[in-house]
């Protein structure tokens, strides 16, 4: 095989690989129900509330929606809301780093972070999700019928408090604590990216609150736990301009090679 043919074949293979990877990438919008659980620094149960909201996830970059709003609920007689929730998939596994802010009564902008075991979500995505698919616990249904077992993890709050018995969740909060990226008492309140990489396990669900009037309290947001994670829509990720530049350059090389052979 000539050098030109080899180069053309290699270029074609690279293009097909890149294009197929892009074509599989999607932005998925989910509606979910789940549980918000708060444990004390000794793993005692402080309280729990059902939650109901939506989020989007971009499979091409492993990031969740940057502005997920959970409608205010009532927690111990006070309004509670979580917002500015972000999700970042950690390379090399099925963990997702979550950061958010919480308003609780008169306390505004409390920084909250956690680490999810997203095995159930990732396995469902790998199966190829469609609008209308439902993941309830560890079961994925399509058109109302069983489609697959996605292996969702057990929320760590169930381990600390077996009486909760939420069951598997596509996004289950773990016992991993995040590394604090701000200075408590200085710039943590209102900081929507307070937790980062460098995880430690303290044996309690969630990651401790690092600022505000409730230090040491640990918050878990278990998405789809004992409830549902429903696919609202699936949108293809636009093909990056770099791919089209590669295509045009590849076509140009083939044209040049053909002219040289004539």
pLDDT digits (tens, 9 = 90+) for 47-71: 998 888 889 999 999 999 746 567 6
* Res 65: pLDDT: 73
In a domain, 90, yes or no: yes
Give domain status of residue 16, yes or no.
no
Confidence at residue 226, expressed as pLDDT on a 0 to 100 scale: 65
Q: Specify the pLDDT at position 20.
A: 40
Q: Which two tokens stand for residue 239?
A: 């093909």
Q: Examine residue 31 and state whether it is found in any structural domain, yes or no.
A: yes
Q: Tell me if 14 is assigned to some domain.
A: no
- Which domain, by its residues, includes 91? 24-261
Residue 74 resides in a domain: yes
Domain-located, residue 2: no
Total of domains in the chain: 1
Question: In the prediction, which pLDDT does 228 show?
Answer: 87
Identify the residue whose tokens are 């909760």. 164
pLDDT at 13: 45
Q: What is the pLDDT of residue 195?
A: 98
The answer as to whether 105 is a domain residue is yes
3 is a domain residue = no
Where the chain has pLDDT below 70, the residues are 1-24, 66-69, 71, 226-227, 238-262
Q: Residue 23: is it exposed, middle or buried by C-beta count within 10 angstroms (0-12/13-18/19+)?
A: exposed
**What is the 8-class DSSP label of residue 163?**
G
- Percent of the chain at pLDDT > 70 equals 78
pLDDT at 6: 46
Q: Residue 253 corresponds to which tokens in the numbers above?
A: 């090389």
Residue 246: predicted pLDDT: 47
Cα→Cα distances 230→18, 132, 220, 237, 250, Å: 29, 6, 20, 20, 41
Q: What is the DSSP string of 10-49?
A: HHHHHHHHHHHHHHH-EEEEEEEEEEEEEE-TTS-EEEEE
The pLDDT score that the predictor gives to residue 76 is 81
Query: Residue 237: what pLDDT?
Result: 72
């Amino acid at each position: 095989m000539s050098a030109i043919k080899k180069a053309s074949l290699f270029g074609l293979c690279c293009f097909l690989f890149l294009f197929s990877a892009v074509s599989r990438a999607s932005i998925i919008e989910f509606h979910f129900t789940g549980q918000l659980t708060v444990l004390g620094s000794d793993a005692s149960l402080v309280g729990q509330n059902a939650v109901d909201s939506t989020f989007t996830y971009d499979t091409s970059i492993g990031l969740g929606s940057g502005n997920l709003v959970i409608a205010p609920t009532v927690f111990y007689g006070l309004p509670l809301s979580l917002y500015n929730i972000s999700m970042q998939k950690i390379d090399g596994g099925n963990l997702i780093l979550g950061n958010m802010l919480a308003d609780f009564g008169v306390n505004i902008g409390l920084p909250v972070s956690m680490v999810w075991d997203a095995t159930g979500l990732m396995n469902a995505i790998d199966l190829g999700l469609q609008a209308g698919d439902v993941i309830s616990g560890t079961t994925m249904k399509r058109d109302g019928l069983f489609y697959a077992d996605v292996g969702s993890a057990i929320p760590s709050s169930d381990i600390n408090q077996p009486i909760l018995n939420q069951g598997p969740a596509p996004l289950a909060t773990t016992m991993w604590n995040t590394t604090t990226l701000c200075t408590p008492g200085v710039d943590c309140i209102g900081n929507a990216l307070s937790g980062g990489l460098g995880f430690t396990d303290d044996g309690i669900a969630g990651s401790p609150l690092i600022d505000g009037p409730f230090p040491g309290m640990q918050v878990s947001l278990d998405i789809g736990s004992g409830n549902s994670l429903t696919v609202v829509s699936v949108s293809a990720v636009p093909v990056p301009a770099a791919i089209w530049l590669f295509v045009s350059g590849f076509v140009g090389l083939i044209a040049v090679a053909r002219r040289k052979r004539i």
